[in-house]
Amino acid sequence: MQKTILAFLLNAFALTAFSQQPARPSVNLIPIPVSLQTDPGIFTLPASVLIEAPERADLVPTLESLTSHLSIPTGSAVVLRMKPSPAATIRLILSKSPDTALGAEGYRLTVTPDKITIRAAQPAGLFYGVQTLLQLFPKEIECKEPRKGVRWQAPCVTIMDRPRFSWRGLMLDVSRHFFTKAEVKSFIDEMARYKYNLLHLHLTDDEGWRVEIKSLPRLTERGAWNVRRTGSFGTFQPPAPDEPRNNGGFYTQDDIRELVKYAKERFVDILPEIDCPGHSLAAIASYPELSCSPGSENYRVNSGEKVMVWPKGGGFYGLVDNTLCPANEKVYPFLDKVFTELAALFPFGYIHVGGDECARNFWEKSDAIKQLMQKEGLKSLDEVQSYFEKRVEKIVESKGKKVIGWDEILEGGLAPNAVVMSWRGIKGGIQAARLGHEVVMSPTTFVYLDYMQGDAIIEPPVYATLRLKTVYSFEPVPDSVDARLVKGGQANLWTEQVYNTRHLQYMIWPRALAVAECLWSPKDKKDWSSFARRTEANFGRMDIEQVKYARSMFDPIFTARKDSSVAGGDSLRVELSTEVEGLDIHYSFDNSNPDSFYPLYSMPLSIPKEAIMLKVITCRGGQPIGRQLDMPVKELRKRAGLSTGE
Residue 200, pLDDT > 60, answer: yes
Return the percentage of the chain with pLDDT > 70, whole number: 96
Q: Is 472 helix (H, G, I), strand (E, B) or coil?
A: helix
Q: Are residues 249 and 367 in the same domain?
A: yes
21 within a domain of the structure (yes/no): no
pLDDT tens digit string along 214-264?
999 999 999 999 999 999 999 999 999 999 999 999 999 999 999 999 999
How many structural domains does the chain have?
A: 3
Last-in-domain residue among 499, 518, 547: 547
> Which CATH number does the domain housing residue 373 bear?
3.20.20.80
Find out whether 562 and 478 touch, Cβ atoms under 8 Å. no
Instruction: Choose one of 161, 194, 221: the last residue of a domain.
Output: 161
User: Smallest Cα–Cα separation from 301: which of 204, 174, 212, 366?
Assistant: 204
User: Does residue 474 form part of some domain?
Assistant: no
Regarding whether 352 and 256 lie in a shared domain, the answer is yes
Domain encompassing residue 99: 27-161
Residues 126 and 528: their CA atoms lie apart, in Å, by: 28
Distance (Å, rounded) from C-alpha 566 to C-alpha 564? 5
Is residue 416 situated within a structural domain? no
489, β-bridge pairs: 168, 441
pLDDT tens-digit readout, 501-546? 999 999 999 999 999 999 999 999 999 999 999 999 999 999 999 9
CB 270 within 8 A of CB 201: yes
- Residue 417 belongs to some domain of the structure: no
The predicted pLDDT at position 24 comes to 73
Confidence category of residue 14, pLDDT binned at 50, 70, 90: very low
Q: What is the pLDDT of the chain when averaged over all its residues?
A: 94
Amino acid of residue 465: T
Residues 171 and 312 in one domain: yes
Tell me how far apart the terminal alpha carbons of the chain are, to the nearest angstrom.
Answer: 82
Q: How many helices (H) and strands (E) does the chain have?
A: 18, 28
Nearest to 322 by CA among 375, 270, 361: 361
Looking at the structure, tell me whether residues 240 and 301 fall in a common domain. yes
Query: pLDDT tens for residues 57-73?
Result: 999 999 999 999 999 99
* Stretch 361-372: mean pLDDT: 96
Q: Of 547, 574, 592, which marks where a domain is finished? A: 547
The residues assigned a catalytic role are: 205, 279, 357
Q: Are 504 and 493 in contact (CB under 8 A)?
A: yes
Q: What is the pLDDT of residues 301-336, one digit of tens each?
A: 999 999 999 998 888 999 999 999 999 999 999 999
Mark whether 274 and 189 lie in a shared domain: yes
Rg of the chain taking only CA atoms, in angstroms: 28
Q: Say whether both 154 and 206 belong to one domain.
A: no
Q: How confident is the model at residue 10 (pLDDT cuts 50, 70, 90)?
A: very low
Residues 194 and 59 both lie in one domain: no
Q: In terms of domains, do 561 and 540 share one?
A: no
What percentage of residues in the chain have a pLDDT greater than 90? 89
Q: Average of pLDDT values for 264-271? A: 98
In a domain, 380, yes or no: yes
Let me know: does 414 contact 362? Beta carbons within 8 Å: no
At residue 11 the predicted structure's pLDDT band, cuts being 50, 70 and 90, is: low
State whether 529 and 384 are in the same domain.
yes
Same-domain check for residues 265 and 328 = yes
Does residue 18 lie within any of the structural domains? Answer: no
392 lies in some domain:
yes
State whether 532 and 572 are in the same domain: no
CATH number of the domain to which 79 belongs: 3.30.379.10
535-565 burial, b at 16+ Cβ within 10 Å, e below that, comes to bbbbbebbebbebbbbebbbbbbbebbebee
The average pLDDT across 608-627 equals: 95
Same domain? For 149 and 171 the reply is: no
- Model confidence pLDDT, tens digit, residues 557-578: 999 998 876 655 678 999 999 9
Q: How far apart are CA 280 and CA 358, in angstroms?
A: 9
pLDDT band at 489 (very low <50, low <70, confident <90, very high): very high
DSSP-derived 3-state class of residue 29: coil
| Side chain identity at residue 110, one-letter code | T
Is residue 318 a part of any domain in this protein? yes
User: DSSP strand E in 257-413: where?
Assistant: 269-273, 308-309, 317-318, 350-352, 402-406
Cβ atoms 396, 335 nearer than 8 A: no
Q: What is the band of 122 on the pLDDT scale with cuts at 50, 70, 90?
A: very high
Residue 3: pLDDT above 80? no
**Residue 12 pLDDT > 50:** no
In this prediction, residue 596 carries a pLDDT of 97
Q: Could you give phi then psi for residue 406, rounded to 5 degrees?
A: -65, 165
The residues pairing with 600 across neighbouring beta strands, listed in sequence order, are 586
Question: For position 590, which CATH number holds?
Answer: 2.60.40
**Pair 147, 71: CB distance under 8 Å:** no
Please state the φ and ψ torsions of residue 288, each to the nearest 5 degrees: -60, -25
Q: What share of the chain is helix, strand, coil (3-state, %, to 5)?
A: 35, 20, 45
How would residue 8 be classed by pLDDT, with cut points 50, 70 and 90? very low
Reported as a pLDDT band with limits 50, 70 and 90, residue 213 is very high
Type of residue at 78 = V
- C-alpha span between 413 and 19 (Å, rounded): 69
Give the pLDDT confidence score for residue 18 in this predicted structure. 42
Looking at 94-108, 265-279, 422-436, which range is the least confident one? 94-108
The β-bridge relationship of strands 247-248 and 225-226 is: antiparallel
